[in-house]
Chain A
Amino acid sequence: MTVDPGSETDVVALLADLSGLRRSVGFRIPEGGLTCVAGIGSGLWDRVFGEPRPAGLHPFPEFAGARHTAIGTPGDLLFHIRARRLDLCFELAERLTTRMDAYAQVVDEVHGFRSFDERDLLGFVDGTENPEGSAAVAAVLIGDEDPEFAGGSYVVVQKYVHDLAAWDALPVEEQERAVGRSKLSDIEMSDDVKPANSHVALNTIVDDDGEQQQIMRFNMPFGQVGRSEYGTYFIGYAHSPAVIEQMLTNMFIGKPPGNHDRILDFSTALTGNLFFVPTSDFLDDPPDPALVWPSGRESKGDEPADAIVERDGSLGIGSLRQRSG
């Protein structure tokens, strides 16, 4: 979603009310498991919160390869709403957009569903390598490397549409070589068989110590059969955007350059964006934008002088907070 200039105070008030809105919808059907994650884009962060800023937050860069490009698209806010029932998701989405109607616009809206065996619309199981337990925490949540934002995360989203007719025209064996896993049993190919341009090979990131860098994917299929639209909404969480951006570099530019992900010959990224995911504590009690000025930003002259406070490295939570509305 994009947020109109001058609506910074409204955004802060909405974020502070988000947990209450989720409870109001979800409490009525507790078995529905309604959750909502809010992400904040780089531009909006600067407009609303300024310094200090999350170390890894920046505008989503374009990844342009010789044949395929991951584009960056506008987006100040992301809401990732999930439940066991779509009606819960829809109700919360409606509450949010109604509340924001006067100052924000939805750039992209995708309704995702869980398909058979956690399969995407290409017919392959998606998300098998998601980390679990303590590995999930380490992969997803910011830790001591950025202590002011510890417990937060980063999320990258891309909306892919597939040329399903062309994909389905491939023999299953060739599809499996594009993915790097068997289609029916979801077993990863051994390294001596797996093609270098397979999706699995290019998305396996190993650091200098030989340790695999993981992310958490909550991808979902979407589509409209009447429009022959068949897609996968990629959504990946990580403690740093660098891991996901390395994956996108490998996929689109290639590793080595030119060796792009074979799946991209059948899939097109229509959107792309990076968001910072603050902690719930931050959202429940955010700093007031009237008291936050990015470094170098000047007063417009219509603000009371005493409303501008130099940042001292704290988040301005507590005594500095003067939420309006």
Chain B
Amino acid sequence: MRRGLDTVGGPEEMDAVLGAESQAVLTPLTEAAIFLS
């Protein structure tokens, strides 16, 4: 399962992007974060 898509919907969403697994850019907001830049 594509990591970035596993929280946002079913096969329709997963089929939206073919051939590559996204990073976790669609994971819902969570409790804590560290931003390193």
Contact = CB atoms under 8 A, between A and B. Distances in A.
Interface string B4-33: 110011001100111111111111011111
Interface residues of B, number: 29
B37 A77 contact: yes
Contact of A279 (B22, B29, B30): B22
B5 to A, nearest CB: 7
B22 A141 contact: yes
Contacts of B30: 33, 35, 82-84, 114
Interface in A156-215: 157, 159
A268 interface: no
A290 interface: no
A282 interface: yes
A151 interface: yes
A37 B25 contact: yes
Interface in A103-142: 106-114, 118, 127, 132-134, 136-138, 140-141
Contacts, number: 165
B37 A273 contact: yes
B5 A137 contact: yes
Contact of B17 (A112, A150, A271): A150
Nearest to A218: B29
A280 B21 contact: yes
15 contacts: A77-B37, A78-B36, A79-B36, A79-B37, A82-B32, A107-B37, A111-B33, A136-B9, A137-B16, A138-B16, A151-B4, A152-B22, A280-B3, A280-B22, A280-B23
Given A90-B34, A141-B26, A279-B20, 19 more contacts: A1-B36, A37-B25, A79-B37, A81-B34, A85-B31, A86-B32, A93-B36, A110-B35, A112-B35, A114-B32, A140-B25, A141-B22, A159-B35, A233-B33, A277-B23, A278-B23, A279-B21, A279-B22, A280-B4
Interface of A: 1, 33, 35-38, 75, 77-86, 88-90, 92-93, 96-97, 106-114, 118, 127, 132-134, 136-138, 140-141, 143, 150-153, 155, 157, 159, 216, 218, 220, 233, 235, 237, 271, 273, 277-283
Interface of B: 2-5, 8-9, 12-13, 16-27, 29-37
